[in-house]
Amino acid sequence: MEQKYRSILVPVDGSKNAEKALKKAIEVAKRNNGRVEILNVIDTKQFTNNFGGLVSMSGDIIYSTFEAVQQYLGKLKENIAKEEGFTNVGVHARFGSPKVVIARDFIEDYPIDLIILGKTGMSAVGRIFVGAVTDGVVRTAKCDVLVVS
């Protein structure tokens, strides 16, 4: 029996591995007449300090971070249409813990068949943990997961 993946989630963070995962997702979606949902999770921990977890940045910083992510996602969508000729793409930005949002929260809102993600993200701290988000998603997602290296 052949598996048809029609709704594919790709978490992105600007890293090379995320770009590889996105290219793979587009290939799979094209073969299956599917849709790609591109997601950037803004980790809420970056807005806290070590003194009781209070927000340490102003609302302007949070808003500008969200705006920058929206611009990044818009450019990704535009480039996919131009370079790949693929337009069945949705872009999403969410706040929260990347592991939780990717593996559980997002797929509760969208009927995702497959998550494709890179083995590690772009942050140096993330690389120290050798793909802690990827590992968490692989272990807890309620759909198939493909890790691109």
Q: Record the pTM.
A: 0.86
Q: Which domains, ranges and CATH numbers included, belong to the chain? A: 7-147 (3.40.50.620)
pLDDT of 58 strictly over 70: no
92-136: pLDDT as tens digits: 999 999 999 999 999 999 999 999 999 876 555 544 444 688 889
Q: Is the pLDDT of residue 148 over 80?
A: yes
How large is the average pLDDT for residues 45-53? 60
Strand order in the sheet with 7-11: 89-96, 35-43, 7-11, 114-118, 144-148
How many C-beta atoms lie closer than 10 Å to residue 16's C-beta? 10
Q: Who wins on pLDDT, 58 or 51? A: 58
